[in-house]
Amino acid sequence: MVKVAMVSDLHLDINKVDIEQTLEQQSLWLKENQIGIYLIAGDLFNHFNRSLSFTERLQKMTPNTLVRFIAGNHDMVNDISYDGLQNGISNTYFHRKQLDVSGTDWRIIGNNGWYDYTFSAVLHRPEADFWHWKQAYWIDSAIEQPMSDPERMTQELQVIERQLWQAQQDKKRVLFMTHFVPRIEYLRITSDNRFWNMANAMLGSARTGQLLTRYHVRYALFGHMHIHPKPRKLAGTVYFNQAVGYGTARRNEWLTDTFESEWLKRIRVIDLTDKKD
């Protein structure tokens, strides 16, 4: 049995968290709860270097736990190029990587993910409209990339599919971690041009969920949406959104009063065993 702790969207800078205190608190909790693997599904800071530093320091403080994170859109805003995101960089950075869980038939696969406007298909608008809306209103306008959003998503899906195909050949059960939303069921959809319908275009891709279904993925962890859903089984895959979100005066999404208590409320632990079901 291997205990895996999952969380996302810590937003440590926006939430004005005491980093030293948080490192100590999380390290102690991981040790006390004998967590084998700690997964963070993106959006730690608005600077990639700070996200990387946090996870590397936490890994050193907690040597018996494997700490792994992927980059959300906030992590991508500063300190990293598109090409840099595709490189290995560090053991803690898990984009386009995989990990076989020792003593089990489980494989964890990580990919930052992206979006392709499929969640806003009901609007029947050309790609250019979504691109221009993003440049005007969305934080991702600061993220440079050498291709369109749908092209970027297609590229990531090709990488993911190769990994899922190999996992299937190796007879591995899969826990998949990504930042962006993989299922349209989590979104609010209407057929008009309201703000959220344009924003939905930047939340993820329906094609991700379709791919996970095709390869019978058991578990999927994602973030990006700061919501508090219970684990939900859709088309054979159990989906987890464990976002901590914002606890600011302007936008308070927390159900508790402090970052530590909210993190403890949002983090979810699952057991990966060697027993096939």
Report pLDDT digits (tens) over 152-195. 999 999 999 999 999 999 999 999 999 999 999 999 888 777 77
Residue 273: the pLDDT is 86
For residue range 191-244, list pLDDT tens digits in order.
Answer: 777 778 899 999 999 999 999 999 999 999 999 999 999 999 999 999 999 999
* CATH at residue 147: 3.60.21.10
Strand 232-234 with 219-222, pairing: unpaired
Average of pLDDT values for 254-274?
96
Which residues form the domain of 212?
2-272
Across the chain, what does the average pLDDT equal?
96
Q: What pTM does this model have?
A: 0.97
- Using alpha carbons, select from 62, 59, 54, 159 the residue that is nearest to residue 113: 159
Task: Using alpha carbons, list the distances in angstroms from residue 203 to 28, 44, 223, 276.
Answer: 33, 17, 10, 33
Q: pLDDT-derived band of residue 276, with 50, 70 and 90 as boundaries?
A: low
Q: What per-residue confidence (pLDDT) applies to 197? A: 87
How many domains would you assign to the chain? 1
Q: Is residue 277 part of a domain?
A: no
The model's pLDDT over 113-129, given as tens digits with 9 standing for 90+, comes to: 999 999 999 999 999 99
